[in-house]
Structure 1
Amino acid sequence: MKKPLVVLLTICFHFVCLAQEKPNIVLLFADDAGYADFGFQGSKEMKTPNLDKLASQGVRFTQAYVTHPTCGPSRAGLITGKYQYRFGYEENNVPTYMSKVSAVDGPEMGLPLGEVTVADYLKEQGYVTGFFGKWHLGGADRFHPTKRGFDEFYGFRGGARSYFEYTESPKEPLNKMEQGFGNFEEHNGYLTDALAQETSEFIEINGKAKKPFFAFLSFNAVHTPMDAKAEDLDQFPHLTGKRKIVAAMTLALDRAIGKVLDKLKELGLDDNTIVVFTNDNGGPTDANASSNHPLSGIKATHLEGGIRVPFLMKYPGTLKPGTVYGKPISTFDLLPTFYSAAGGNTKNLKGLDGVDLIPYLMGKTKGRPHETLFWKRDARAAMRKGDWKLIRFPDRPAELFYLPEDERELNNLADSEPERVRKMYKELFVWETTLERPRWLLKKVYERRDVERTDAFWPKYKPD
């Protein structure tokens, strides 16, 4: 009897060890940051030593895209692993000015309850899940992070708030700080630092308990309002105005990320933790003085500067440090990538548009993760097919660009490639016919504003 018992115990120990080897996952998510505003992206103005170090330890992606050029829809695509247009999440989720525009207004706008989130999937794999920071996926209680797969929440349900504590109730109630569900209490100090502290405590508790965890740290930095600490502003004496403030806010963002990464190292978890850093959309240069150089466009536009974002991934023992990946990916790839790393079989994921990136990054799967990518808002839309990009406008003919030779999108090739335009235009329309109608709509004045912003931040219309 002893030998079978020994064998059984050995097998059990083996499976326990395997369970403990599930990688922890930390997603660091910035808000409204400029494509160029990090040292690892070539900035000489910004000070981002912690992110620069992370870039040297993992993979830097040069053609990473979001699913939408504005906050709410971009988050909806990331957290569900699919185009949010498929479930009608096409317009922005901003409760403050939506009254009497749609059938669904204010806090009633949110991520449909039938959609499964990355947190739901990771909980199935035995993960403890925590969300820290800006939610912006629905203000009503039924949309709360703790009802969408997250065990813990510390942050605010809205889209933009002060970085310092409110002494009076904010004009928008969804921007009040909240611990868990319904426990509203303002933070102490500077919010970017506070979010890092809460995330670090979550990591420490679950790390010491040897429970695999998923921490989604969703900063509101560097979104407006332009709030910065005096000591951070002092680090940029050569800058002025909003550019000085966004530099200070970016420094605070990097410091907060460093605190989280240091906690992983302190606990001996950094060698078994996937760390991803990215951003929700292009920087809104007109609002926060962010830079998307060398790309044209800003937040809310379908130019590369509105939809291409910085993206880093560290996966010790799996991905080679200090490498660069140059094929197009999307933030909706994070869900299947995390799920697979957690031990899940991606064949069980139904209806997703994202793919597991790891086989591509390791060279096991050839080709591109995505041959075709789409973006849409109202009458505007864009499509990337291979290295060609088509942009459809509401006020002019569609334009075509060949990105390897023209990443600034200055040379419209539509006239010289009429057949390609015709085929891509038709494919874009066919894709649109598979989508749900938007669940809510912005006032038309905002769509006109964003078309004007496209031209204002496109060098072909505005000289450098």
Structure 2
Amino acid sequence: MKKIVAISTLIFALVFFTSCKESKPKTIVKPAERELPNIVFILSDDQAWTDYGFMGHKHIETPNIDKLANESLTFTRGYVPTSLCSPSLASIITGVYPRNHLVLGNDRVLPGDDKNGKPAWQSPWRDENYKSVIENFKKLNTLPKMLKEKGYLSFQTGKWWIGNHKNGGFDYGMTHGDAERGGRHGDYGLEIGRKGMDTLYSYIDLALKKKKPFFMWYAPFLPHSPHNPPDSLIQKYLPKAPSEYVARYWAMCEWFDQTCGDLMDYIDKKGQTENTLFVYVCDNGWVQNENDGKYNPISKRSPYDYGLRTPIMYKWKGKIASKRDTISLTSSLDMVPTVLGLLAMEQPKNLDGVDVLNEAAFKSRQTIFGEIYAHDFDTVENSLFYRMAITEPYKLILPDEVNKPNEKIQLYDIYKDPYEKINLAKEHPEIVVNLKNKIQKSWNTTTN
């Protein structure tokens, strides 16, 4: 009997310890042991937040970006901090406000500069004035520089305003930045998409050959003017548009979408889709005039949502759950900290955004901010036009008292009034004061 009891006890003990062992959770793979994802930033250029199929446009067809939106964590209430390409792109790559990276506009002027009736970019002193901007930028931490810690190869294609691609920490790139050869805002980089995708494909092939994870900056000169899309697309939109100018712009949006499809198809062809993080944003908005090729002043360079708002998407198949978020506010400044968070990398203290996948940090942020400067800029003080505070549901537009002395403060309920038609500043002075104080507090913590 004792033997039976002993044997029973032994069997029980074995079953107990075996079951305990099996009930433990599977070993969690440390971030450093995971396969590092490729990272692809897709950046539209001069496109309104409304001008996508998935955002409800009645005529513009963007099937590839629509598919990306459906497969991503997609924020439809994304914002860039400023509505002009050079400072906006600089904020995307650094994760800080223009007042901190000091790329305030597209061209730098100094007091006493004689334009002789020409815009700054056509003047001989433009490149000389911009050298100090480039030298300061080279000292900043950029995403390509940070990713070197993890062994990434980084590639630049498309728009790039800060001289040679190496100034941003890229290993390879299309932009030489030589002023003597027309290097103002992208030079050869501006050919990507418009003249094919072969250079981009060769960069991807190089990374795969070297067995390195890669960071790809795809910022084509699309749908940016000149609006000269393939004739087939123009003919498609002419019967639907109110004018040829609008038809051409709509066609450019679809042309850009086609190149995005080409890029994603190539990555899929190489078997890299499941190991690639795609991030989408537009640098600034655009509203096409019906009667000429120019943009409406309520869009690009303005403090309004037609200039600042953009969908922002994060897709990593199997790692980031797809979701359409139509409420939460996010910023292009969040792109760098979100990438670093996914790679379990240390977050530099000077970043102005948050990791959108860090639920506590994301939900605790109540306000995002923006700032608009002169296209031809000098210093922050001399060039500041507007500052903005954006919350749920209000947005405050605060004109600079010195540089915009005759303009009124504007307050909009951007959830009920997304096209900013009704100024509520007089009706809600307490909200104006509260948001003004938040703007000032944000500026008091500036790093420069």
Q: Which moved more, 1:146-155 or 1:128-137?
A: 146-155
In the TM superposition, what whole-angstrom CA distance separates every residue of 1:400-457 from its partner, at most 9, and x where no partner exists?
22222222222222222222222322442454455588xxxxxxxxxxxxxxxxxxxx
Aligned equivalent of 2:20:
none
Question: Is contact 1:23–1:341 with CA below 8 Å preserved after alignment?
Answer: no
Give every structure 1 segment of 4 or more consecutive aligned residues whose post-TM-superposition deviation is greater than 6 Å: 14-17, 100-104
Name the SS of the counterpart of 1:285 in structure 2. coil
Note the C-alpha offset of 1:77: 1.0
How far off is 1:64 after superposition? 0.4
Aligned counterparts, 1:333-412, within 5 A:
333-346=334-347, 349-360=348-359, 367-377=363-373, 378-393=384-399, 394=404, 395-412=406-423
Please show how residues 239-278 of structure 1 align to structure 2 within 5 Å: 239=241, 240-278=243-281
**Structure 2 equivalent of residue 73 of structure 1:** 87
Contact 2:388 2:395 in 1 (8 A): yes
Q: Which residue of 2 aligns with 1:27?
A: 41
Matched, 1:307 2:318: no
Contact 2:51–2:57, Cα closer than 8 Å, also in 1: yes
Q: 2:55 aligns with which of 36, 41, 64?
A: 41
Supply the AA of the counterpart residue of 1:135. W
Aligned pairs for 1:163-242 (under 5 A) are 172-174=182-184, 177-178=187-188, 191-194=192-195, 196-238=197-239, 239=241, 240-242=243-245
C-alpha separation between the residues in 2 aligned to 1:429 and 1:196? 45
Q: Compared with structure 1, are the counterparts of its residues 33 and 64 closer, same or farther at alpha carbon in structure 2 (3 Å cutoff)?
A: same
From the CA coordinates, give the structure whose radius of gyration is larger: 2
Distance in 2 of aligned mates of 1:221 and 1:391: 29
* 2:100 pairs with 1:61: no
Name the CA distance, whole Å, in 1 between partners of 2:129 and 2:94. Answer: 22
Residues 29 and 218 in structure 1, CA contact (< 8 A), matched pair in contact too: yes
Amino acid at match of 1:338: V
Separation (CA, whole Å) in 1 of partners of 2:71 and 2:29: 30
**Counterpart in 2 of 1:113?**
138
Superposed displacement of residue 334, structure 1: 0.8
CA separation of 1:220/1:332 partners in 2, compared to 1, >3 Å: closer, same or farther? Answer: same
Pair 1:418 & 2:419 matched: no
- Percent identity at matched positions? 25
Verify: 1:97 aligned to 2:120, yes or no. yes
User: Structure 1 residue 70: deviation in Å?
Assistant: 0.6
TM-score by length of structure 2 reads 0.78
Distance 1:213 1:354, change over 3 A: same
Instruction: Select between 388-397 and 31-40 the one with higher mean Cα deviation.
Output: 388-397
Aligned equivalents of 2:104 and 2:261: distance in 1? 34
Counterpart-to-counterpart distance in 1, 2:391 and 2:419: 17
Contact 2:88 2:284 in 1 (8 A): yes
Tell me the amino acid that sits aligned with residue 390 of structure 1: L
Whether the 8 Å CA contact 1:22–1:341 is kept in 2: the answer is no
Unaligned runs of 5+ in 2: 1-27, 110-118, 374-383
CA distance, structure 2, for counterparts of residue 17 and residue 434 of structure 1: 32
Assess if the C-alpha contact under 8 Å between 1:401 and 1:411 holds in 2.
Answer: yes
Which whole-Å CA distance do the structure 2 matches of 1:321 and 1:242 have between them? 36
Give 3-state SS (helix, strand or coil) of 2:104's partner. coil
Equivalent residues of 1:132, 1:195 under 8 A apart = no
Helix, strand or coil at the partner of 1:130 = strand
Match of 2:303, SS state, is: coil
Cα distance, 1:91 vs structure 2: 3.0
Whole-angstrom distance in 2 between the partners of 1:86 and 1:147: 17
CA gap of 1:176–1:341, structure 2 versus 1, over 3 A, is closer
Could you report, residue by residue, the CA deviation over 1:300-357 in whole angstroms, capped at 9, with x for unpaired residues?
11111111112222121222225335211111111111122233122xx121111111
- Could you tell me the TM-score, scaled by structure 1's length? 0.75
**C-alpha contact (below 8 Å) 2:93/2:143 kept by paired residues:** yes
Amino acid at match of 1:270: T
Letter in 2 for 1:274: L
Go from structure 1 to structure 2 and tell me whether the alpha carbon gap of 1:339 and 1:26 turns closer, same or farther (over 3 Å shift): same
Distance apart, 1:376 and its partner CA: 3.6
Are the structure 2 counterparts of residues 325 and 204 from structure 1 closer, same or farther at C-alpha, using a change threshold of 3 Å?
farther
Q: More displaced, 70-79 or 415-424?
A: 415-424
Measured against aligned partners, the alpha-carbon deviations of 1:10-38 in whole angstroms (never above 9, x if no partner) come to xxxx9999656111110110110122211
Instruction: Specify the SS of the correspondent of 1:235.
Output: helix
For the 8 Å contact 1:128–1:213, the answer to whether it is kept is: yes
2:138 and 2:167 in contact (8 A); partners too: no
> What is the distance in 2 between the residues matched to 1:370 and 1:131?
34
1:208 is displaced (CA, Å) by 4.5
Contact persistence 1:73–1:90 (CA under 8 A): yes
- In the alignment, which residue of structure 2 is the partner of 1:449? none
Q: Is the 8 A contact 1:223 1:288 kept in 2?
A: no
Q: Is contact 2:176-2:183 (8 Å) kept?
A: no
Residues 93, 333 of structure 1: CA spacing in aligned structure 2 closer, same or farther, 3 A cutoff? farther
Which blocks of at least 5 consecutive residues in structure 1 are unaligned? 1-13, 160-168, 180-185, 438-464
Task: Give the conservation status (yes or no) of the 8 Å contact 2:369–2:387.
Answer: no
Looking at structure 1, the residues matched to 30 and 318 of structure 2 have their Cα atoms a distance apart, in angstroms, of 20
The offset of 1:289, in angstroms, is 7.0
1:107–1:241 Cα change, 3 Å: farther
Number of aligned positions between the proteins: 391
Closer, same or farther: CA 345–429 of 1 in aligned 2, 3 Å: closer
SS in 2 for 1:367: helix
Answer yes or no: is the 8 Å Cα contact 2:103–2:133 preserved in 1. no
